[in-house]
Amino acid sequence: KPQLVASNNRFCRFLEEYCPVVTETYYPTIWCWEGRVQTLLRPFITSRPQVQYRNELMKTADGGQISLDWFDNNDSLYYPDASTRPTVLLLPGLTGTSKESYILHMIHQSEMLGYRCVVFNNRGIAGEDLLTPRTYSAANTEDLEAVVHHVHSLHPLAPFMAAGVSMGGMLLLNYLGKTGRDTPLMAAAIFSAGWNVFESIASLEKPLNWLLFNYYLTTCLQSSVSRHRQMLEKSCDMDLVMKARSIREFDTQFTSVMFGYRTVDDYYEDASPCRKLKSVGIPVLCLNSVDDVFSPGHAIPVETAKQNANVALLLTSCGGHIGFLEGIWPRKCTYMDRVFKQFVQAVFEHGNKIFSM
């Protein structure tokens, strides 16, 4: 049974009544219950719902562009008026885009509820060109701030919330910690966020985890920047970047340099959402598994969460990183999908019961 951590009794009661999945026992798929196995198998096992996107290239203040993929849901039976159709902003993980299976499942859940979705693809990874020598990081919230206000300006009457997965969840938490209540978002859902980057990196540098995850992710990061090499050479030594053999080495040679940090440790300090959790000013539900090698259980800020009435942590003993597979043959809905669906619906349809907290 998941552990629900929240200091606000009203928020707890709200979740138990309108998001009952938080009280249900989570039964991981019996033949792949171990966290690393769940993490590795989920992308191959889960189905990929068909989603037709409308792409928008949004210009930024520094001359760059951000690719937004819209699922307008114009056939919505529950919200036929587009001006008031609830909108969910989705943030994928480190090198993820709108094509990730977990994003497609969130959109499928939202479609059934009648909601509109928009996926925020980080600069340079969704096929668009980099117009400036800049990419993205977990700590820099400028692009996310611009996207939030852009989406809100297009549909100012529509209820609006966000959901972030993995690094997308870290970025969203860092944004919320910076803005407090000064955001058009009503609430947020966070899945498998890395709370303390130092602990996440230490876990990923253990020999087996390096072999299974760290090296592969490093090559994905290198691949995402190599196609923009000519532009990025203006700010980084790309030869050193392409020699990196771990995420720490990549961040040392690329991310920390790109965003002007003195050392990679300075970047990791700034990127860790646990430092900003006290300042979150809207209701947030955060799902983590304590066997997630990307966000080890001992680094989840349970005590800090108890100091903020807006925060609820939902912790499972199994599930891995963006895994949460359940059932004998877990092709369709995961536990994470069910948490997303119920929480989003609870906020949009009963949110007035928690906004007086």
Please give the full DSSP string across 286-331, using - where no structure is assigned.
EEEETT-TTS-GGGS-HHHHTT-TTEEEEEESS-TTTT--BSSS-S
Q: Count of CB atoms within 10 A of residue 236's CB?
A: 18
Q: What is the per-residue burial (b if ≥16 Cβ within 10 Å, else e) of 94-118?
A: bbbbbbbbbbbbbbbbbbebbbbbb
- In DSSP terms, 69 is beta-bridged to 55, 119
Annotated catalytic residue: which of 143, 270, 292, 337? Answer: 292
Whether 321 is a known active-site residue: answer yes
- Annotated catalytic residue, options 110, 270, 321, 337: 321
β-pairing, 65-71 vs 87-91, is: unpaired
CA 1 to chain CA centroid, Å, is: 23
Cα separation of 234 and 230, whole Å?
8
Q: How far apart are CA 128 and CA 112, in angstroms?
A: 30
Selected catalytic residue, list 166, 256, 272, 295? 166
Residue with tokens 């792409």: 55
- Catalytic (active site) residue 292: yes
- The interaxial angle of helices 9-18 and 335-350, nearest 10 deg, is 110
CA distance 128 to 67: 7
Of 209, 281, 277, nearest to 246 by C-alpha is 209
CA distance 67 to 86: 21
Active site residues: 166, 292, 321
